[in-house]
Amino acid sequence: MKIRNFALILVLMLTACTSNGTSTATLAPQDTSLPPTPVSHTTPVPDVRPTADAFLQAWQAEDYEAMYAMLSPASQDVNPQEEFIQRYKDVAISTTLDSLDYEVLSVLTNVRSAQAAYRVTFHTLLLGDIKPRDMTMNFSLEGSEWRVLWEDGMIMPDLRGGNKLALDFKIPARGNIYDRDGYAIANTTEVVSLGVIPGQINPDQEDTLLSELSRLTGKPSEWIYASYAEAAGPWYVAVGETTADQFNARYDTLSNLAGLQWKFYTSRYYFDNAIAPHVVGYTQFISPELLEEYKRKGYRGDEKVGMSGLEKWGEPYLAGTPGVSLYVTDPEGTILTRLGQSEVVPAQSLYTTIDANLQIEAQKAINSFRGAIVVMERDTGRVLAMASSPGFDSNLFDSENLNFQVLGDVLNDGSNRLLNRAAQGGGYPLGSVFKIVSMAAALESGVFTADDTYDCTYTFTDLPGYTLYDWTWEKELPESGMLTLPEGLMRSCNPWFYHIGLEMYRAGQGDVLPEMARAFGFGSVTGIDQVAESGGNVPDAISDEVTVQLSIGQSELLVTPLQVARMVAAIGNGGTLYRPQVVEQVADPDGVPVYTFEAEAQGTLPVSEENLAIIQDAMRSVVANKRGTAVQVFGGMSVPIYGKTGTAQTDAPGYPHAWFAAYTDAGREGRSDIAVAVIAEYSGEGSEIAAPIARRVIEVWFNGQPQRLYPWEARLNVTRTPVPTPSNTPEYVPPTETPIPDEEPTPISEE
């Protein structure tokens, strides 16, 4: 009995000890009829729901690294992180996952293990919502934290045991790109690449060979000859591309010409050596670094996609939507079940605002220079032509093209051919075309009126420490003499506009000029959207020197030809700045439009109706008055033209940039009036270079074709050269004498 009582007391003492080993027991009166009551001292089990939520939230955010960090050590041992992450990525790609939603349905917790039931809904791009999947997530308590016991069925129950998802695609044909009248600019068809091996050419057949190649490619025979004239070896020289239909129509003749090489292939074909390549862009196979991104969008991965221009902007329309079936397969690839399917949505086609004939002639017109041409409908903002030179042949980007081998040489020739000089590149100094803005600022400021006069001599000495010159001084022409303000624009008198800038600055209105420039659309992007662009720069009036230079379009002013075309269009249409656009319509295969062009007014020039009329009359006198700087260029034109010449000085050695900007006011039914901006880099005087180019563009628009040669042409689109045969790359050859600007000053220099 004593032994039994001692044992009972010992048990009571032991059960009264705390978890940290400290005894809190007290002796109670003995009652041998009742058993002792035990006291629990276990640590509470943590709630597993926050862990389940965190894991599913990380999945929702596609933070697979965070998900992996939550796995138990045992799960990490059998599932390497790279394979774990790739498993989730593969499912996201196969389902074209856009997003997912989840819901934790219930949790069950034991001492060392737990389980959460959850539901996931997959929202996909091609299949819509996949039927919600109910799954379970198991946990183990590692220390004081719940860790996930992972297995494949936690993504989808169907994937348990190593099963996979597979998509079966039906790819729609890519949509076409057309000009404003439905002329094909780009489509997918059978193409033939053409070239020659000079050493194999039969001299007796050479004239025929050149004629046939010119007929097929649209390139002048002289250009084709120049491309291989100095290459007499057995190597291949690229010439161009044509459609299989055009080639087959001449096959009997072509097949007998020695030295001619060709290859058939199916491709995205850009007609006429690429119409408006900087606007339309080009396609290429998806690069490896972008492959996952495109697959998530529903691409199979072997398609060609738009890489620039409208091909890139219009990708959602031009690609259509593939039809897909989503299957579950076992590890050997056998189909187990189908989870969903969708039907093909045919591609849509783009109809541009580009006029193909005008665009082709504009490209030819600027081809001999580095520069750009922009032609806009004056009253709507439609871009009818946008040419940047030197250009490129979009067909060269297809690796199946036999001429693909020259792509590297073309793109690395130092001329930056992919740059759209019409809208990109940071901009150019505008030179005397900016005097339009200066005249508007002068009139609106109240400091000057149209009747004010100024003696336009050779020099301007009102700015202390500087002597600035008029263009007549360097040309050794008589001084312009006493001029009204409109006559100052007509004569492009530099001292008149230096005077405007300085007097406004001294009158405390120096900011009026840069503010007017910004109101005319400079210093910010035009909002064209479908084409990449730069905003340029308008300097602030921080000193009288800056304002004086800005008044003639110099200083740190930088503009794009697109901005200039929009500006002169606004002057011609009564003051409305329209957003430039290059898409007329997007239509489905039945021709039903899903988008249609609408003119979009962005603002109004801050110029009164009276002052705008004064500026318009002055611009008309530039090309119509016998003293105007462009009257000799536009003689004989029946279309009323309002323009301004410009010759912008640059920091680089060589010739200045030649500018001409104008609008027409013909009012012809069925032939809209246009605004034109032309720049030819480092080429000389605006009146001698840019103005003739602008005339040709206007001739083509109103007459359908050029009416006369440039001074530097031997025949249309063939430049005169100092040697009997064309050079390898025919370009404008300037005079041997050093040219002198016709109307712009040299940069400010100290006396």
Name the residues annotated as catalytic: 432
Instruction: With CA atoms as reference, report the closest residue to 144 among 111, 169, 187.
Output: 111
User: What is the CB neighbour count within 10 angstroms for residue 442?
Assistant: 30
| Dihedral sign computed on CA atoms, order 362, 363, 364, 365 | positive
Give the Cα separation of 32 and 35 in Å (integer): 7
Give the Cα separation of 199 and 231 in Å (integer): 8
Give 21's contacts (C-beta < 8 A, 6+ positions apart).
Answer: none
Backbone angles phi and psi of 13, in degrees to 5: -70, -40
Helices 206-217 and 221-228: angle between axes, nearest 10 degrees:
120
Give the Cα separation of 192 and 62 in Å (integer): 46
Classify residue 225 by burial, with Cβ atoms within 10 Å: 0-12, 13-18, 19+: middle
Helix (H, G, I), strand (E, B) or coil at 624: helix
DSSP per-residue codes, 215-264:
HHH---HHHHHHHHTT--SSS-EEEEEEEHHHHHHTHHHHTT-TTEEEEE
Give the Cα separation of 689 and 678 in Å (integer): 9
Per DSSP, 537 falls in state B
User: What is the CB neighbour count within 10 angstroms for residue 738?
Assistant: 7
Q: Are 486 and 444 in contact (CB under 8 A)?
A: no
Give the Cα separation of 357 and 275 in Å (integer): 9
Helix (H, G, I), strand (E, B) or coil at 654: coil
Residue tagged 């249309």 (tokens): 716
User: What is the CB neighbour count within 10 angstroms for residue 298?
Assistant: 20
Give 594's contacts (C-beta < 8 A, 6+ positions apart).
Answer: 317, 348, 586, 587, 588
- CA trace torsion 87, 92, 93, 97 (10° rounding): 170
Helix (H, G, I), strand (E, B) or coil at 372: strand
User: What is the CB neighbour count within 10 angstroms for residue 719?
Assistant: 19
The gap from C-alpha 406 to its chain's centroid, in whole angstroms, comes to 24
Helices 561-573 and 609-624: angle between axes, nearest 10 degrees:
110
Backbone angles phi and psi of 242, in degrees to 5: -150, 170
Instruction: With CA atoms as reference, report the closest residue to 173 among 26, 303, 270, 295.
Output: 303
Which amino acid belongs to residue 714? A
Q: Which residues pair with 128 in a beta bridge?
A: 124
Helices 435-445 and 561-573: angle between axes, nearest 10 degrees:
50
Give 335's contacts (C-beta < 8 A, 6+ positions apart).
Answer: 166, 327, 328, 329
Give Dmax over CA atoms of the chain in angstroms: 142
Instruction: With CA atoms as reference, report the closest residue to 621 among 584, 662, 573.
Output: 662
